[in-house]
Structure 1
Amino acid sequence: MTWTAPAVVRTPEITVGDERAMLESWLDYHRQTLLLKCAGLTAEQLRTASVEPSGLTLLGLVRHLAEVEAWWFRENFAGETVDYPYFTPDNPDADHDVRRADAEADLATFHREVELARAAVAGRTLDETFTEVGPKRRTFNLRWVYLHMIEEYARHNGHADLIRERIDGVTGD
């Protein structure tokens, strides 16, 4: 039997709530949207590039966003040491190299990183600040991270729309 990405039930974003609830709701909506774009596709389809010369794939986006979750929420905000599943100093774009990727394992990694991100910010305030890892050393607050992650997912979900349409003609949602 051929493995396919599981179906996704996307929870509608809330339209009334406090700031934290609204930010979490919109971020979860976009996380689920990415998974919705993958639902029902085989591993091979998830590894299918959009259109030359781009090598962008749905699986590459899943892998990329798993690492972005870890980078902003865990390593930067929470100060955790993160063992990235794809990134290496020699190959910083390894998340997009899906030629030999295990789609089922990569989706599990994505889900795990989302849960670890949630745990990293549990009980923390939106006003809490941190200094970015790396040479820039900019200061951010958790509110900024939520807003940035919503933007990051929204942008990549636009890519995912086009890739999915290219694979099997599915549009929308």
Structure 2
Amino acid sequence: MNDIVIEKIVRPARVLAGSWQDVIASNLDYHRATFLWKCEGLSDAQLRQRAVPASQLSLLSLMRHLQGVERYWLQHKLAGTTPRFFQYRMRVTDDGDEWFDESDPTPAKDVYADYLAACQDSRELFAKGTEDVARIEPNPEFGDSDLRFVLTHVIEEYARHVGHADLLRECLDGRTGE
């Protein structure tokens, strides 16, 4: 029985010159694929493993978080839709924030499918959401911002969490990469 959740990820080439939408979209897809590349070839149990001492972070919790980033920032804030969020079990952290509860029984394959669906929905809404990037969007976390900020914030989220994923993967099996 094969318990590998994510078999093979091929990262797309990035657009280095072109319309700003093409450059942003291709870089976002590159970071999405890089994150999944860090999860490639691992089992459900490995994806749940907290590999960094004293950390509650796992690759699976990052995958759950990034589906929320896709739905909140790109689908809701950028494209103005009301996305459907998967109801993952949450826990309250020592700081009083909420984070994904690793005892959530949702199989990693289902989390992966949910993440892929969130990314695909965001891709399909991208053109609609980038028609007027100067539009100001209310933002309780950062203050009112235009949609260019939303796009760069999503790339920031991916870049930060790909770094986390790199460290977690190295702790799991020694595999490293750019």
User: Partner of 1:97 in structure 2?
Assistant: 101
Note closer, same or farther for the CA distance 1:30–1:59 as it changes in structure 2 (3 Å cut): same
**Deviation of the 1:89 alpha carbon:** 8.8
Between stretches 40-49 and 123-132, larger displacement belongs to 123-132
CA shift for structure 1 position 90:
7.9
Change (3 A) 1:137 1:113: same
CA distance in 1, matches of 2:40, 2:141: 38
- Equivalents in 1 of 2:113, 2:90: separation in Å? 24
Q: Residue type of the partner of 1:166?
A: C
Contact kept? 1:126, 1:143, Cα under 8 Å: no
- 1:26, CA displacement in angstroms? 0.7
Aligned to 1:2: 2
Q: Is 2:110 the partner of 1:109?
A: no
Across the aligned residues of Structure 1 and Structure 2, the Cα RMSD in angstroms comes to: 2.3
Please give the per-residue CA displacement for 1:125-155, whole angstroms capped at 9, x wherever unaligned.
Answer: 252424236x568333332222111111011
Instruction: Find the partner of 2:157 among 134, 152, 159.
Output: 152
**Gap change, CA 1:34 and 1:64, over 3 Å in 2:** same
Compute the TM-score of the two structures, normalised by the length of structure 1.
Answer: 0.87
Distance in 1 (alpha carbons) for counterparts of 2:41 and 2:118: 22
* CA distance in 1 between partners of 2:16 and 2:78 (Å): 27
**CA distance in structure 2 between the partners assigned to 1:33 and 1:8 by the alignment:** 8
Read off the aligned partner of 1:125 and give its amino acid letter: E
- Structure 1: distance between partners of 2:138 and 2:88: 18
Q: Which runs of 5+ in 2 are unaligned?
A: none
Cα 1:56/1:93, change in 2 over 3 Å: same
- Which residue of 2 is the match for residue 49 of structure 1? 50
Match of 2:20 in 1: 19
Gaps of 5+ in 1: none
Select the residue among 118, 127, 150 that pairs with 2:123: 118
Q: Quick one: distance in 1 between partners of 2:7 and 2:89?
A: 29
Which residue of the partner structure matches residue 80 of structure 2?
A: 79
Q: Is the 8 A contact 1:57 1:163 kept in 2?
A: yes
Normalising by structure 2, report the TM-score: 0.85
| Paired amino acid for 1:13 | R
Q: Does 1:132 align with 2:117?
A: no
Q: Is the 8 A contact 1:131 1:137 kept in 2?
A: no
Q: Aligned AA for 1:25?
A: S
Aligned residue identity for 1:71: Y
Q: Secondary structure at the match of 1:122?
A: helix
